[in-house]
């Protein structure tokens, strides 16, 4: 029984780590797309939504960094 509980804890921990990893990678991918978008489309109309998205995504990135530091 103890082995089963230990294995379950390890599996659930790995699953949580993978979810955090994928969330972080998705945020990085979105940020990269925004930056590429800004680079090729230099009109002010296109920059405003991307800046707003960056502002919205930055707190999520900070949360992920603090979570990584804890682990």
pLDDT value for 70:
46
Per-residue pLDDT, 71:
43
Instruction: Say what the pLDDT of residue 59 is.
Output: 72
pLDDT of residue 69: 47
Q: What pTM did the predictor assign?
A: 0.31
Helix (H, G, I), strand (E, B) or coil at 33: helix
Q: What is the pLDDT of residue 47?
A: 57
From the list 63, 60, 41, the residue with the least C-alpha distance to 50 is 41
Mean pLDDT by 10 residues, the chain (71 residues): 60 63 68 65 58 71 55 43
User: 3-class secondary structure for the chain?
Assistant: CHHHHHHHHHHHHHHHHHHHHHHHHHHHHHHHHHHHHHHHCCCHHHHHHHHHHHHHHHHHHHHHHHHHHHC
Domain range for residue 66?
A: 2-70
Tokens of 28: 């990085």
Please count the structural domains in the chain: 1
């Amino acid at each position: 029984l103890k082995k089963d509980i230990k294995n379950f804890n390890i599996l659930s921990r790995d699953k949580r780590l993978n979810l955090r990893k994928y969330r972080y990678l998705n945020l990085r991918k979105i940020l990269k797309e925004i930056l590429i978008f800004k680079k090729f489309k230099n009109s002010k109309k296109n920059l405003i939504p991307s800046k707003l998205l960056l502002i919205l995504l930055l707190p999520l990135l900070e949360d992920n960094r603090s979570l990584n530091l804890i682990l």
